[in-house]
Chains A and B, each alone.
Chain A
Amino acid sequence: MSNSNYYEILGLPKHTTDAEIKKAYRKLSLKFHPDKNPGDQYFEDWSKKINEAFAILGNPASRAAYDQQFETHSFKDQFYPRPGQYASSATATETAEEKAPPPKPQPSAAEQLVLRQVKDMVPDYLRLKGEYLLAKKEFELVKKKQAPAIFTKQQLLIGSGIAILAIAGLIYASIAATTRAPKVIMEPLPTPEWKKKA
Protein backbone atom coordinates (compact mmCIF):
# COMPACT_ATOMS: atom_id res chain seq x y z
CA MET A 1 0.00 0.00 0.00
CA SER A 2 1.48 3.35 -0.94
CA ASN A 3 1.63 6.41 1.28
CA SER A 4 -0.81 8.37 -0.88
CA ASN A 5 -3.82 9.91 0.77
CA TYR A 6 -6.59 8.36 -1.29
CA TYR A 7 -9.26 10.59 0.22
CA GLU A 8 -7.30 13.65 -0.90
CA ILE A 9 -6.90 12.18 -4.37
CA LEU A 10 -10.66 11.78 -4.70
CA GLY A 11 -11.21 15.16 -3.06
CA LEU A 12 -13.32 13.67 -0.28
CA PRO A 13 -13.34 13.92 3.52
CA LYS A 14 -12.43 10.81 5.46
CA HIS A 15 -15.90 10.11 6.82
CA THR A 16 -17.57 9.88 3.44
CA THR A 17 -20.12 7.32 2.25
CA ASP A 18 -19.47 4.55 -0.26
CA ALA A 19 -21.94 6.18 -2.66
CA GLU A 20 -20.01 9.44 -2.54
CA ILE A 21 -16.76 7.59 -3.22
CA LYS A 22 -18.30 5.97 -6.28
CA LYS A 23 -19.73 9.27 -7.45
CA ALA A 24 -16.40 11.09 -7.04
CA TYR A 25 -14.56 8.24 -8.77
CA ARG A 26 -16.92 8.33 -11.78
CA LYS A 27 -16.66 12.10 -12.04
CA LEU A 28 -12.87 12.16 -11.81
CA SER A 29 -12.45 9.18 -14.12
CA LEU A 30 -14.35 11.01 -16.79
CA LYS A 31 -12.33 14.20 -16.25
CA PHE A 32 -8.94 12.51 -16.25
CA HIS A 33 -9.51 9.71 -18.69
CA PRO A 34 -6.31 9.33 -20.78
CA ASP A 35 -8.36 8.84 -23.95
CA LYS A 36 -9.55 12.41 -23.58
CA ASN A 37 -5.98 13.66 -23.67
CA PRO A 38 -3.94 11.01 -25.49
CA GLY A 39 -0.21 11.22 -24.87
CA ASP A 40 -0.55 13.57 -21.89
CA GLN A 41 1.48 12.06 -19.04
CA TYR A 42 -0.26 14.24 -16.46
CA PHE A 43 -3.68 12.80 -17.22
CA GLU A 44 -2.29 9.26 -17.39
CA ASP A 45 -0.65 9.65 -13.96
CA TRP A 46 -3.78 11.03 -12.39
CA SER A 47 -5.95 8.38 -13.97
CA LYS A 48 -3.71 5.74 -12.38
CA LYS A 49 -3.88 7.48 -9.00
CA ILE A 50 -7.67 7.73 -9.15
CA ASN A 51 -8.01 4.04 -10.07
CA GLU A 52 -5.62 3.08 -7.28
CA ALA A 53 -7.58 5.17 -4.77
CA PHE A 54 -10.88 3.66 -5.85
CA ALA A 55 -9.46 0.13 -5.77
CA ILE A 56 -8.77 0.65 -2.06
CA LEU A 57 -11.66 2.88 -0.99
CA GLY A 58 -14.27 1.21 -3.22
CA ASN A 59 -13.91 -2.06 -1.34
CA PRO A 60 -15.20 -1.90 2.28
CA ALA A 61 -12.62 -4.39 3.59
CA SER A 62 -9.60 -2.69 2.02
CA ARG A 63 -11.02 0.68 2.98
CA ALA A 64 -11.26 -0.38 6.65
CA ALA A 65 -7.64 -1.55 6.53
CA TYR A 66 -6.59 1.69 4.88
CA ASP A 67 -8.52 3.75 7.43
CA GLN A 68 -6.64 1.95 10.18
CA GLN A 69 -3.36 3.01 8.60
CA PHE A 70 -4.79 6.46 8.00
CA GLU A 71 -5.51 6.84 11.71
CA THR A 72 -2.00 5.75 12.61
CA HIS A 73 -0.29 8.17 10.27
CA SER A 74 -2.66 11.10 10.64
CA PHE A 75 -2.57 12.73 7.25
CA LYS A 76 -4.40 15.80 8.50
CA ASP A 77 -1.36 18.11 8.29
CA GLN A 78 -0.09 16.64 5.09
CA PHE A 79 0.30 19.96 3.40
CA TYR A 80 2.55 21.35 6.12
CA PRO A 81 4.32 18.36 7.61
CA ARG A 82 6.24 19.01 10.79
CA PRO A 83 9.61 17.23 11.12
CA GLY A 84 9.35 13.99 13.10
CA GLN A 85 5.58 14.08 13.32
CA TYR A 86 5.13 10.83 11.42
CA ALA A 87 8.04 9.05 13.12
CA SER A 88 6.74 9.82 16.60
CA SER A 89 3.20 8.68 15.86
CA ALA A 90 4.26 5.54 14.02
CA THR A 91 3.48 2.12 15.45
CA ALA A 92 6.05 -0.54 16.15
CA THR A 93 4.69 -2.74 13.36
CA GLU A 94 5.63 -0.34 10.58
CA THR A 95 7.49 -1.71 7.63
CA ALA A 96 10.66 -0.10 6.25
CA GLU A 97 8.54 1.59 3.58
CA GLU A 98 6.25 3.10 6.17
CA LYS A 99 9.20 4.48 8.16
CA ALA A 100 10.34 6.43 5.13
CA PRO A 101 9.98 10.26 5.24
CA PRO A 102 6.42 11.52 4.94
CA PRO A 103 5.10 11.67 1.41
CA LYS A 104 5.23 14.94 -0.46
CA PRO A 105 1.96 16.83 -0.35
CA GLN A 106 -0.51 15.54 -2.87
CA PRO A 107 -3.23 18.05 -3.60
CA SER A 108 -6.48 16.45 -4.64
CA ALA A 109 -7.02 15.63 -8.29
CA ALA A 110 -9.69 18.29 -8.62
CA GLU A 111 -7.38 20.87 -7.05
CA GLN A 112 -4.54 19.83 -9.35
CA LEU A 113 -6.80 20.19 -12.35
CA VAL A 114 -7.94 23.65 -11.28
CA LEU A 115 -4.36 24.76 -10.62
CA ARG A 116 -3.35 23.47 -14.03
CA GLN A 117 -6.21 25.38 -15.66
CA VAL A 118 -5.28 28.50 -13.68
CA LYS A 119 -1.64 28.15 -14.73
CA ASP A 120 -2.66 27.90 -18.38
CA MET A 121 -4.75 31.05 -18.04
CA VAL A 122 -2.09 33.07 -16.21
CA PRO A 123 -0.11 34.46 -19.23
CA ASP A 124 -3.23 35.76 -20.97
CA TYR A 125 -4.69 36.94 -17.69
CA LEU A 126 -1.58 38.95 -16.80
CA ARG A 127 -1.35 40.43 -20.30
CA LEU A 128 -5.01 41.52 -20.27
CA LYS A 129 -4.69 42.81 -16.71
CA GLY A 130 -1.65 44.85 -17.74
CA GLU A 131 -3.50 46.27 -20.75
CA TYR A 132 -6.51 47.10 -18.62
CA LEU A 133 -4.44 48.84 -15.94
CA LEU A 134 -2.54 50.80 -18.61
CA ALA A 135 -5.80 51.91 -20.27
CA LYS A 136 -7.15 52.91 -16.85
CA LYS A 137 -4.04 54.95 -16.10
CA GLU A 138 -4.19 56.68 -19.49
CA PHE A 139 -7.85 57.51 -19.03
CA GLU A 140 -7.21 58.96 -15.59
CA LEU A 141 -4.32 61.05 -16.94
CA VAL A 142 -6.49 62.49 -19.73
CA LYS A 143 -9.33 63.13 -17.29
CA LYS A 144 -6.96 64.83 -14.88
CA LYS A 145 -5.93 67.35 -17.54
CA GLN A 146 -9.52 68.76 -17.53
CA ALA A 147 -11.17 70.49 -20.46
CA PRO A 148 -9.39 73.76 -21.29
CA ALA A 149 -11.56 76.85 -20.57
CA ILE A 150 -12.47 79.07 -23.53
CA PHE A 151 -11.19 82.17 -21.72
CA THR A 152 -8.72 82.16 -18.92
CA LYS A 153 -9.53 84.02 -15.72
CA GLN A 154 -6.79 86.55 -16.51
CA GLN A 155 -8.12 87.19 -20.01
CA LEU A 156 -11.63 87.69 -18.65
CA LEU A 157 -10.41 90.16 -16.00
CA ILE A 158 -8.31 92.24 -18.40
CA GLY A 159 -10.96 92.15 -21.16
CA SER A 160 -13.80 93.19 -18.87
CA GLY A 161 -11.63 95.95 -17.34
CA ILE A 162 -10.87 97.41 -20.76
CA ALA A 163 -14.52 97.11 -21.84
CA ILE A 164 -15.72 98.94 -18.69
CA LEU A 165 -13.21 101.73 -19.29
CA ALA A 166 -14.25 102.06 -22.96
CA ILE A 167 -17.95 102.16 -22.06
CA ALA A 168 -17.23 104.72 -19.33
CA GLY A 169 -15.37 106.79 -21.91
CA LEU A 170 -18.33 106.67 -24.26
CA ILE A 171 -20.74 107.74 -21.50
CA TYR A 172 -18.41 110.57 -20.49
CA ALA A 173 -18.15 111.73 -24.08
CA SER A 174 -21.90 111.77 -24.54
CA ILE A 175 -22.44 113.71 -21.28
CA ALA A 176 -19.71 116.16 -22.14
CA ALA A 177 -21.24 116.75 -25.55
CA THR A 178 -24.54 117.84 -24.02
CA THR A 179 -23.46 119.79 -20.92
CA ARG A 180 -19.98 121.23 -21.52
CA ALA A 181 -20.27 122.32 -25.17
CA PRO A 182 -19.71 126.15 -25.62
CA LYS A 183 -22.93 128.15 -26.12
CA VAL A 184 -23.29 129.85 -29.47
CA ILE A 185 -24.97 133.26 -29.19
CA MET A 186 -26.66 134.31 -32.37
CA GLU A 187 -26.39 138.11 -32.66
CA PRO A 188 -27.34 140.21 -35.70
CA LEU A 189 -24.42 141.32 -37.80
CA PRO A 190 -23.54 145.03 -37.55
CA THR A 191 -24.85 147.17 -40.40
CA PRO A 192 -22.09 147.86 -42.95
CA GLU A 193 -20.89 151.45 -43.37
CA TRP A 194 -22.03 151.82 -46.99
CA LYS A 195 -25.51 150.84 -45.96
CA LYS A 196 -25.55 153.37 -43.14
CA LYS A 197 -24.59 156.20 -45.54
CA ALA A 198 -27.33 155.26 -47.85
Chain B
Amino acid sequence: MLLVFLCIAILAGLLIYGLLTYNDHKNVRQRYFAELKMAENRLAAARKDFELLDKPLQGLISKQFGNRMAENVKTETISTGMPSELLLVSWGEPAQVSYATDEMNKEVWYYDPFTTPEKETAYRTEITIEQNRVSTWKDRN
Protein backbone atom coordinates (compact mmCIF):
# COMPACT_ATOMS: atom_id res chain seq x y z
CA MET B 1 0.00 0.00 0.00
CA LEU B 2 2.84 2.31 0.95
CA LEU B 3 4.54 1.55 -2.37
CA VAL B 4 1.39 2.47 -4.28
CA PHE B 5 1.12 5.83 -2.50
CA LEU B 6 4.82 6.48 -3.04
CA CYS B 7 4.60 5.81 -6.78
CA ILE B 8 1.49 7.94 -7.20
CA ALA B 9 3.16 10.77 -5.24
CA ILE B 10 6.27 10.58 -7.47
CA LEU B 11 4.20 10.69 -10.65
CA ALA B 12 2.14 13.60 -9.37
CA GLY B 13 5.33 15.43 -8.39
CA LEU B 14 6.77 14.89 -11.84
CA LEU B 15 3.60 16.15 -13.48
CA ILE B 16 3.54 19.33 -11.37
CA TYR B 17 7.27 19.95 -11.99
CA GLY B 18 6.74 19.45 -15.74
CA LEU B 19 3.83 21.87 -15.86
CA LEU B 20 5.71 24.56 -13.93
CA THR B 21 8.82 24.18 -16.07
CA TYR B 22 6.77 24.25 -19.25
CA ASN B 23 5.06 27.48 -18.19
CA ASP B 24 8.36 29.09 -17.23
CA HIS B 25 10.15 28.11 -20.43
CA LYS B 26 7.19 29.09 -22.55
CA ASN B 27 7.64 32.68 -21.32
CA VAL B 28 11.37 32.54 -22.08
CA ARG B 29 10.62 31.29 -25.59
CA GLN B 30 8.03 34.01 -26.13
CA ARG B 31 10.58 36.64 -25.05
CA TYR B 32 13.15 35.12 -27.43
CA PHE B 33 10.80 35.18 -30.41
CA ALA B 34 9.78 38.77 -29.61
CA GLU B 35 13.47 39.76 -29.52
CA LEU B 36 14.08 37.95 -32.82
CA LYS B 37 11.13 39.70 -34.43
CA MET B 38 12.36 43.09 -33.23
CA ALA B 39 15.87 42.43 -34.57
CA GLU B 40 14.36 41.31 -37.87
CA ASN B 41 12.26 44.48 -38.11
CA ARG B 42 15.26 46.66 -37.28
CA LEU B 43 17.29 44.87 -39.98
CA ALA B 44 14.51 45.28 -42.56
CA ALA B 45 14.19 49.02 -41.79
CA ALA B 46 17.97 49.56 -41.91
CA ARG B 47 18.21 47.62 -45.19
CA LYS B 48 15.38 49.66 -46.71
CA ASP B 49 17.03 52.97 -45.72
CA PHE B 50 20.41 51.78 -46.98
CA GLU B 51 19.03 50.58 -50.31
CA LEU B 52 17.29 53.92 -50.83
CA LEU B 53 20.72 55.50 -51.12
CA ASP B 54 22.73 52.50 -52.30
CA LYS B 55 20.75 51.85 -55.48
CA PRO B 56 20.98 55.37 -56.95
CA LEU B 57 24.63 55.58 -55.91
CA GLN B 58 25.47 52.28 -57.59
CA GLY B 59 23.51 53.41 -60.66
CA LEU B 60 25.47 56.66 -60.78
CA ILE B 61 28.80 54.83 -60.49
CA SER B 62 27.79 52.18 -62.99
CA LYS B 63 26.64 54.77 -65.53
CA GLN B 64 29.76 56.89 -65.32
CA PHE B 65 32.49 54.34 -64.56
CA GLY B 66 31.00 51.09 -65.83
CA ASN B 67 29.53 47.99 -64.23
CA ARG B 68 32.91 46.59 -63.30
CA MET B 69 33.82 49.61 -61.20
CA ALA B 70 30.36 49.57 -59.58
CA GLU B 71 30.83 45.89 -58.75
CA ASN B 72 34.30 46.60 -57.32
CA VAL B 73 32.88 49.34 -55.13
CA LYS B 74 30.11 47.06 -53.93
CA THR B 75 32.44 44.16 -53.17
CA GLU B 76 34.96 46.49 -51.51
CA THR B 77 37.62 45.76 -54.11
CA ILE B 78 40.01 48.56 -54.93
CA SER B 79 41.82 49.02 -58.21
CA THR B 80 44.48 51.30 -59.60
CA GLY B 81 42.92 54.44 -60.98
CA MET B 82 39.85 54.24 -58.76
CA PRO B 83 38.78 57.77 -57.78
CA SER B 84 39.23 58.52 -54.10
CA GLU B 85 35.49 59.26 -53.79
CA LEU B 86 34.72 55.70 -54.81
CA LEU B 87 37.33 54.40 -52.39
CA LEU B 88 35.46 56.29 -49.68
CA VAL B 89 32.20 54.65 -50.72
CA SER B 90 33.80 51.23 -50.82
CA TRP B 91 36.02 51.19 -47.74
CA GLY B 92 34.66 54.11 -45.74
CA GLU B 93 36.62 56.87 -44.05
CA PRO B 94 40.29 56.02 -43.45
CA ALA B 95 41.53 55.79 -39.88
CA GLN B 96 44.38 58.16 -40.69
CA VAL B 97 45.47 60.30 -43.63
CA SER B 98 48.89 61.76 -44.31
CA TYR B 99 49.43 64.42 -46.96
CA ALA B 100 52.47 65.22 -49.07
CA THR B 101 52.13 68.68 -50.55
CA ASP B 102 53.75 68.09 -53.90
CA GLU B 103 52.58 68.43 -57.47
CA MET B 104 51.01 65.03 -57.50
CA ASN B 105 48.67 65.85 -54.58
CA LYS B 106 49.87 62.67 -52.94
CA GLU B 107 48.00 61.33 -49.94
CA VAL B 108 48.32 58.11 -47.99
CA TRP B 109 45.14 56.70 -46.49
CA TYR B 110 45.52 54.22 -43.64
CA TYR B 111 42.94 51.54 -42.85
CA ASP B 112 42.47 48.81 -40.19
CA PRO B 113 44.38 50.18 -37.20
CA PHE B 114 45.78 47.82 -34.58
CA THR B 115 48.07 48.07 -31.57
CA THR B 116 51.54 46.59 -31.89
CA PRO B 117 53.22 44.66 -29.02
CA GLU B 118 55.16 47.89 -28.40
CA LYS B 119 51.80 49.57 -27.69
CA GLU B 120 51.97 51.69 -30.83
CA THR B 121 49.20 52.18 -33.35
CA ALA B 122 49.88 50.69 -36.76
CA TYR B 123 47.73 50.14 -39.83
CA ARG B 124 47.19 46.96 -41.80
CA THR B 125 46.57 48.67 -45.16
CA GLU B 126 48.10 51.79 -46.67
CA ILE B 127 46.66 53.20 -49.88
CA THR B 128 48.50 55.87 -51.83
CA ILE B 129 46.30 58.37 -53.60
CA GLU B 130 47.78 60.47 -56.38
CA GLN B 131 45.75 63.18 -58.05
CA ASN B 132 42.60 61.90 -56.34
CA ARG B 133 43.08 58.38 -57.69
CA VAL B 134 44.33 55.17 -56.13
CA SER B 135 47.88 54.57 -57.32
CA THR B 136 49.32 51.86 -55.05
CA TRP B 137 48.53 50.03 -51.85
CA LYS B 138 50.42 48.01 -49.29
CA ASP B 139 49.23 45.33 -46.87
CA ARG B 140 51.01 44.73 -43.62
CA ASN B 141 51.25 41.12 -42.45
Q: Which chain A residues have a beta carbon within 8 Å of chain B's beta carbons?
A: 79-80, 101, 104-105, 107, 110-111, 114-115, 117-119, 121-122, 124-126, 128-129, 131-132, 134-136, 138-139, 142-143, 145, 147-151, 155, 159, 162-163, 165-167, 169-170, 172-174
Decide if B60 touches A118 in the complex (CB within 8 Å): yes
Is chain B's binding surface mostly helix, strand, loop or mixed?
A: helix
How many Å lie between the Cα of A151 and that of B29 in the bound state?
11
**Bound Cα distance A144, B25 (Å):** 18
Instruction: Tell whether, in the assembled complex, residue B43 and residue A124 are in contact, meaning their CB atoms are under 8 Å apart.
Output: no
For chain B, the bracket of interface size reads 35 or more
Task: Please state if B85 and A150 are interface contacts (CB–CB under 8 Å).
Answer: no
Decide: B21 and A145 in contact? CB cutoff 8 A: no
Q: How far is the CA of A24 from the CA of B35 in the complex (A)?
A: 55
By a CB distance below 8 angstroms, the chain B residues around A124 are 53
When chains A and B are docked, how far (Å) is the Cα of A44 from the Cα of B112? 39
Cα separation A124 to B49 with both chains bound (whole Å): 10
Q: A147 with B3: in contact, given A142-B35, A162-B10 (CB under 8 Å)? A: no
Of the candidates B42, B83, B86, which one forms a contact with A138 in the assembled complex, judged by CB atoms under 8 Å apart?
A: B42
Query: Are B11 and A151 in contact (CB-based, < 8 A)?
Result: no
CB-nearest residue of chain A to B1: A173
B130, closest chain A residue (CB): A80
Number of A-B residue pairs having CB atoms within 8 Å of each other in the complex: 136
Interface status of B97 (Cβ within 8 A of chain A):
no
A119-B88, A147-B33, A169-B3 known; A132 and B47 CB under 8 Å? Answer: yes
A80-B81 CB under 8 A given contacts A118-B60, A163-B14: yes
User: Chain B residues with Cβ under 8 A from A143's Cβ?
Assistant: 36, 39
By a CB distance below 8 angstroms, the chain B residues around A135 are 39, 42-43, 45-47
Q: From known contacts A114-B60, A118-B60, infer whether A162 and B14 are also in contact, taking CB-CB under 8 Å.
A: yes
Q: Tell me how far the C-beta of A147 lies from the nearest C-beta in chain B, rounded to whole angstroms.
A: 5
Instruction: List chain A residues, Cβ under 8 A from B36.
Output: 139, 142-143
Selected contact of B92 from candidates A119, A126, A150, CB within 8 Å: A126
Is there an interface contact between A118 and B61, defined as CB atoms closer than 8 Å? yes
Determine which of B7, B49, B63, B88 lies in contact with A132 in the assembled complex, contact meaning CB atoms within 8 Å.
Answer: B49
B contact residues around A129 at 8 Å (CB): 50, 54, 92
